Amino acid sequence: MTKTVLISAYVHCGLNYDKQPEYTIESYDCSAYQSKTFILETTVAIEIPDDFNPVASEITRLEAALLKAEATAFAHTEQLKQKIADLLMLEYSL
């Protein structure tokens, strides 16, 4: 069995680097924000399996975001430690 999900879709056309038409489907009308021409709004039907469970992929995404945040925090912490060490050396040399 599958579950049918209806999604509003906005079809746009823009020119690629070779100045050829390139069609895209967005979840909103992006013509005011990008150099694309709005063509039409439509509804797209997507079939999703009943056994689809987004939890595993969401956990993977969150773990990757956590690793990135930890790396950024570690780098920032090391910069702060280095600034403190520099200030202490400056104070000692005075």
CA atoms within 13 A on the CB side of 41: 8
* pLDDT tens track for 2-26: 899 999 999 999 998 999 999 999 9
Separation between Cα atoms, residue 57 and residue 39, nearest integer Å: 33
Same domain, 7 and 36: yes
pLDDT in tens, 43-55: 999 999 988 889 9
**pLDDT attached to residue 31:** 85
Q: Specify whether 11 is located in the same domain as 41.
A: yes
Q: 59 with 39, same domain?
A: no
Q: What is the tens place of the pLDDT at every residue in 62-89?
A: 999 999 999 999 999 999 999 999 888 8
Please give the residue range of the domain that contains residue 83. 53-94
The answer on 60 and 17 residing in a single domain is: no
Same domain, 42 and 60: no
Q: How many structural domains compose the chain?
A: 2
Is 4 found in the same domain as 28? yes
Q: Do 29 and 62 lie in a common domain?
A: no
**Rounded to an integer, what distance in angstroms lies between the CA atom of residue 13 and that of residue 24?**
6
Quote the pTM value.
0.51
Q: Do 77 and 45 have their domain in common?
A: no
